[in-house]
Structure 1
């Protein structure tokens, strides 16, 4: 019987195959849970915050490390995605990793029009206006706007209904 040494195995620079970015209140218990289930049953190692994030750990550094350690990021852009500063900061980090680490980024426009995301109209424009009134840092707002425009310019999927896989 042949044995293989560990030096013959290929090691991946990626800790996760996929990082899921989504607004929990919109998609956690429907679209994202179905997507997560399908990916995991296919043997894909997925980072989903409510599964992987240990209670008591600091959120931001842990999420950013998971993004950097993922080969692919799937972004579930939903109606309330931009209302979360966490989601917007994740999006900025994901797009940075797309450029610096050649990470694959796949946007899924869940019940939102990609052009509304790109041009910050509808709910996206409304919540960015709210963020603008609350922020002391105009630079964050500008980064978020650019990130939304950039992600909406990527080829992705437009899902207008709940779909069971």
Structure 2
């Protein structure tokens, strides 16, 4: 692949025909899923993961239950770095997890440094709620149980900036009474 062939669009167009054995050494995964398990793990995210897998798209989905206050693992950061595409599933409780917020920071770093494609999915939340950090996306309220995290003003500011940047990306918006199966098909088609 020449340097002119490595744009995110070219990488995406080849993603559906690739599997882990045909990925360049830079990529271990086609897709990384960032999600709040409490909201979507066994429902929407599980169905999206299955649909991507059925299309031969090698997808990383962290299935480990994370303890409160535990830092994001180096293995998880590496999985983000080694994915062509990251899908951020913004759900009602996404920002109540410092892990999700740290994943978001890493995803946006990789978007800049590695030109990875990032897809925002608004799962029953309004994009403007994420962008303006209101309601369930207001960090002080969402992170009330993580008092230590709130003491780090610089980190909280990085999270706020990252949420705004991610909300400015084009993405998919599932409203409350929409068909989830059709919505998932649209996301898989994009990837």
Bin of the TM-score, shorter chain as denominator length: 0.7 to 0.9
Confirm or deny: 8 A CA contact 1:131 1:141 kept in the other structure.
no
Residues 72 and 80 of structure 1, relative CA distance in 2, 3 Å threshold: same
Instruction: State the shift of 1:97 in Å.
Output: 0.3
Aligned with residue 163 of structure 1, among 173, 180, 191: 180
Confirm or deny: 8 A CA contact 2:88 2:120 kept in the other structure.
yes
**TM norm structure 2:** 0.73
Give yes or no for the alignment of 1:71 onto 2:84: yes
1:56-135 matches, within 5 Å, as: 60-125=73-138, 127-128=141-142, 130=144, 134=148, 135=150
- Aligned twin of 1:45: 58
5+ unaligned residues in a row in structure 2: which ranges?
Answer: 1-21, 65-70, 186-191
Instruction: State the shift of 1:61 in Å.
Output: 0.5
Confirm or deny: 8 A CA contact 1:113 1:158 kept in the other structure.
yes
Residues 10 and 113 of structure 1, relative CA distance in 2, 3 Å threshold: closer
Which one has the largest radius of gyration? 1
For residues 101-156 of structure 1, the C-alpha deviation after alignment (integer angstroms, 9 at most, x for no partner) is 00000000001000010000111115356378542211110000000000000000
The count of corresponding residues between Structure 1 and Structure 2 is 151
5+ unaligned residues in a row in structure 1: which ranges?
Answer: 1-8, 52-57
Between the aligned partners of 2:32 and 2:87, the Cα distance in structure 1 is 6
